Amino acid sequence: MKALSAINSSNPCLSKTHFLKVPIFHPFFRFKPFSHSYSIHVRGAKTALTPSFTINCKLKTSHDIKSKEKSVSQKIVLSEGSPPPLTEDGDTNGENVPESSQKKESPFGVVRMLRRKTLQILSNLPLAIGEMFAVASLMALGTFIDQGEAPDFYFQKYPEDHPVFGFFTWRWVLALGFDHMFSSPIFLGVLALLGASLMACTYTTQLPLIKVSRRWLFLHSAEAIRKQEFSESLPRASIQDVGTILMGAGYEVFLKGPSLYAFKGLAGRLAPVGVHIAMILIMAGGTLSATGSFRGSVTVPQGLNFVVGDVLAPSGFLSSPTEAFNTEIHVNRFYMDYYESGEVSQFHTDLSLLNMDGKEVMRKTISVNDPLRYGGITIYQTDWSISALQILKDNEGPYNLAMAPLQINGDKKLFGTFLPVGDINSPDVKGISMLARDLQSIVLYDKEGKFAGVRRPNSKLPINIDGSEIVIVDAIGSSGLDLKTDPGVPLVYAGFGALMITTCISYLSHSQIWALQDGTTIIVGGKSNRGKMEFPEEMNLLLDKVPEIVESTLGG
Amino acid sequence: MVFLTLEHILTHISFSVVSILISIHLITLLLFKEIIGLSDSSKKGMIITFFCITGLLFTRWFFSSHLPFSDLYESLIFLSWTFSILYIVPYFKKHKNYYLNTIITPSVIFTQGFATSGLLNEMHESLILVPALQSHWLMMHVSMMILGYATLLCGSLLSVAILVILFQELIQIIGKSKNFYFLNESFSFAVIKYINISEKKNVFKKTFFSSYRNYFRSQFIQQLDHWGYRTISLGFIFLTIGIISGAVWANEAWGSYWNWDPKETWAFITWTIFAIYLHTRKNKKLEDINSSIVASMGFLIIWVCYLGINLLGIGLHSYGSFTPN
């Protein structure tokens, strides 16, 4: 037994022996193949003198055994030719396998070696962990130090005579660029290094892992199986029964002679590769966003126009304007919704997009959380203010009075304007003050500063103050719009989608089971990469189901 | 008015039930005995708490006509609801998870206690939603984030427990004070309790007590470690989805999927720390103590991310700040 398995591991071409071996070593073999197909390949012209033959036996599994099982599509594969079985007697980590295959002598040997060395260093796990720690702590620092202030602010906050922690002064902040942490060279450098590590790790250890795990790793010695995290020996059992039961539990089962290999949840092992690729996608998208986008913001009073290209400013060297930048945008209407209590609940802007000929190409009412997208440009509703009051004075007008923001404290806004009364050229001119918090109501004060009344726009209700009759015709709002183009978004979104899916799949546990028929006994061993506690329980449950073979039933 | 009374009743019921549960746990801890009736009642109590908090959330939802995620009080209530969900879900599966349950009950009382304490009293009336929060993403983002926080907190608490057990001897030497002594006792009790449970299964393993105890101690640590790992992996999924949905929402509402806003940054720091934890698990050399240390750091960082940033009241996520606006 041991001698044969040694031959097997040295030469995979000898797999033909298994077919011959089966009846000799396993007198209890109850397998009734429907059809056998022998295919003989002559190994190419290179070995013309001593052609070696590979005989693959394709045994269609007998469905009468397995018809009880739920899924018919699954079948026990009996040593099909296509993926070469990789025989490995030790621990099957598979992470150190692909190294040797890349070694090829070439004139660029030095370059090659250097490349391999860098890859090796970059894909080092402790280094990657260190980089992640560095990124995390820099980000934390970036939230503790106020960002984007003028240098004076840092002179005062981190003075040289009272250094924070005894050494941290404004010199550190400004020299290291910590006043704009998230665009500072140090932070970006560490992030780039992390990205490089991510790519190196994906390239050197993860992608080869896919290749390795597609192979079937049969184990041919009882010791190797017993070394697994879980192992058990079943006396008087047949390996086919084990295979059937494992298949019923959702395992992919492969049988080759006396040895069995089964696995479940392979996706759980491969998904981390996807997580890394998704992270690389997001980082690439982020870089593209940072270097190739345009953004800008504008406050437009209702009824006015602006051209997209005038507002947008490039953010990096890859930013290039498009045809859509010539679009002119007309603010048809700006209005707000209110709660019953009078608070602003939502604000909307009705926008028309006009092309160079002045034709309307698109029209949409946008609001917060509902932007407009046209030709790669996205227009967001972000802010509002009141630009002017339209009034009639003594039935003359209408006059437009510009409103100025008086107090901006959080979301509570206040705008005001002033209508002079009497001699405008006198040094102490007095007049009527009008204040508004939103477009709903205007509060008026007379020239002494006393409260005179509240009027709603559109109400047409005149108010008499200091002898002049005033009608508030309308309050004209202006809409605060943010515009941007961002070529990185599709890439980032693709990365987001992939990241969500692959992290979910990563939760699955990859379980592998090996079994070997040794006389009448079966040695079963297995391991699982995540569900280490549940796996032995599941195995015990499954193996309890394996029928014991009694002498009298052996005839068939 | 009806709404307020109903809310008060539900809050008080859930709070007092959880307090009773805590005292039950303390009693079993002090008496060094497993009283079957009591542990059964603690399960029932958690189910009652679960229904109370669910009711509370629904009344708030119904009367404010938006999902109850808009301020710190509501998110804390939701956090304790998530904890109780984490307790309930394994209860219906046949796989009993003894360790998680011991950790969840105190967690519920702390969050529930903090939410109902006077500290946050002014925030109890439900507020109106500002325009930016009126989005379907609100539900997705907040629920996933809080679910992630809750799961990660449970998982990292298991890691903290491992650290406490591992450094038991150290604590014994350093801290002769009574507080430490009590902690110490409770954890060695946990080990003994675990031995008792396992004893029923393995009657044969009767060796010298010291080695016997060491064996079970390492087994206990292994179990804690494993469950911590599984819980954190699950929480990591929720956190990932939460952060991503937040980013997509930000891209819809503010025009950029990432703004380096403090809350965002801290969520990303949390994500990075737990990514480090998951990576330390890959390396055999780093696995034991180091991964537990990383997870315990994660525990602190979640609290900084969840409460600390709100207390500072900066950035877009200033929903729970104590500064009046």
Contact (CB, 8 A) for A302 and A478: yes
**pLDDT at residue number B284:** 67
Q: How is residue A338 annotated by DSSP?
A: E
Residue among A87, A81, A76, A85 nearest A255 (CA): A76
> Nearest CA of chain A to the CA of B13: how many Å?
32
Rounded Cα distance between B107 and B83, Å, is 7
Q: Give pLDDT tens digits for A106-131.
A: 567 788 888 888 888 887 888 888 99
B237 interfacial to chain A (CB closer than 8 Å): yes
Cβ contact (<8 Å) for B256 and A484?
Answer: yes
The verdict on a CB contact (< 8 Å) between B233 and A484 is: no
Q: Rounded distance, CA B105 to CA B116, Å? A: 16
Instruction: Please report how the helices B209-253 and B262-280 are oriented relative to each other, as an axis angle in degrees rounded to 10.
Output: 140
Sequence-separated contacts (24+) of A154-162 with Cβ below 8 Å: A154/A179
Positive or negative: CA dihedral A446, A451, A457, A462: negative
The first and second tokens of residue A553, run together, are 């039933």
Nearest CA in chain A to B271: A136
- d(CA A306, CA A364) in angstroms, rounded, equals 16
Report the distance separating Cα A147 and Cα A174, nearest Å: 11
**CB pair distance less than 8 Å for B244 and A341:** no
Q: Give residues 93 to 122 of B whose Cβ lies within 8 Å of A.
A: 95
For Cα atoms A23, A25, A31, give the angle at the middle one, nearest 5 degrees: 40
Nearest-Cα distance to chain B for A284, in Å, is 14
User: How far is it, in rounded angstroms, from Cα B256 to Cα B258?
Assistant: 5
Q: Which helix (H) or strand (E) holds A245?
A: helix A239-248
Amino acid B287: pLDDT: 62
Listed ranges A32-36, A257-261, B305-309; the one with the highest mean pLDDT: A257-261
Supply the pTM of this predicted model: 0.77
DSSP character at residue A323: G
Confidence of residue B261 (pLDDT cuts 50, 70, 90): confident
Helix/strand/coil for A437: coil
User: Which strand (E) or helix (H) includes residue A255?
Assistant: strand A252-256
pLDDT digits (tens, 9 = 90+) for A227-281: 888 888 888 888 888 888 888 888 888 888 888 888 888 888 888 889 999 999 9
End-to-end CA, chain A = 25
Closest alpha carbon within chain B to A497: B244
Q: Stretch B21-35: mean pLDDT, rounded?
A: 67
Angstroms from A66 CA to nearest CA on chain B? 29
Average pLDDT of chain A is: 75
**How far apart are the C-alpha atoms of A497 and A319, rounded to whole Å?**
26
Longest dimension (CA), chain B: 68
A392 CB-near residues (< 8 Å, 6+ apart): A398, A399, A470, A471, A473
pLDDT, position A350? 92
Judge whether residue A96 has pLDDT over 50. Answer: no
CA A332 to chain centre: 39
Measured in angstroms, the CA of B258 and the nearest CA of chain A are apart by 9
What average pLDDT does the segment B67-93 reach?
76
Average pLDDT of the residues in A320-328? 84
C-beta separation of A313 from A327 below 8 A: no
Q: In this structure, is the dihedral angle defined by the CA atoms of residues A147, A148, A154 and A157, taken in order, positive or negative?
A: negative
CA distances from B308 to B145, B151, B160 (A): 16, 19, 20
* B311 interface with A at CB cutoff 8 Å: no
DSSP state of B130: P
Which residues of chain B are within 8 Å of residue A504 when distances are taken between CB atoms? 237
Higher pLDDT, B269 or A430: B269
Contact A143 B129 (CB under 8 A): no
Q: What is the pLDDT of residue B29?
A: 64
Residue B174 has pLDDT above 60, yes or no: no
pLDDT at B97: 57
Contact B224, B162 (CB under 8 A): yes
Average pLDDT over every residue of A194-211: 84
Backbone angles phi, psi at A434, to 5 degrees: -130, 130
Phi and psi at A167, nearest 5°, equal -145, -15
Nearest chain B residue to A411 by CA: give it: B325
Alpha-carbon distance of A11 to A27, in angstroms, equals 26
The Cα B322–Cα A299 span in angstroms is: 32
